[in-house]
Amino acid sequence: MDFETLEKKIEELNKINTKATPYPPKKYYILYNSIYESLLEMEKDGSIIIDPDEKNLSYLRELLENDGPEFCYRFVFRGKNSAKKYVIGVCIRGLPMCKPVDQ
């Protein structure tokens, strides 16, 4: 996937009204996972830049699978040829998110 397509998916994710029902729509989780998987591939091929550099994106999945009820972590990233930054993260107290940093 190219970065422009990824940006469109992130925009679509953030248009989903997660407060419309008692639980976020299944579409939100499906789209978030699609974005996350695409980012993993883009990280491998070097088409995104991640800040902070001390961890890689697979750390988010490790948190979800292994670290129990008290965790929160986020990554700031941008396309290799883009100045616009985004954040992707997970937190036990809320939905996983991916959005532009300026939101």
pLDDT digits (tens, 9 = 90+) for 7-41: 999 999 999 988 877 667 788 989 999 999 999 99
Query: In the structure, how many helices (H) and strands (E) does the chain have?
Result: 3, 4
Read off the pLDDT of each residue in 51-65 and give the average, rounded to a whole number. Answer: 78
**13: closest CA among 101, 96, 102?**
96
- Location of structure tokens 């996937």: 1
- Tell me what pLDDT residue 98 has: 93
Domain tally for the chain? 1
**7: closest CA among 89, 91, 90, 83?**
83
Question: What residues make up the domain containing 63?
Answer: 3-100
Alpha-carbon span 85 to 77, nearest angstrom: 6
Q: Judge contact between 25 and 16, C-beta under 8 A.
A: yes
Confidence of residue 65 (pLDDT cuts 50, 70, 90): confident
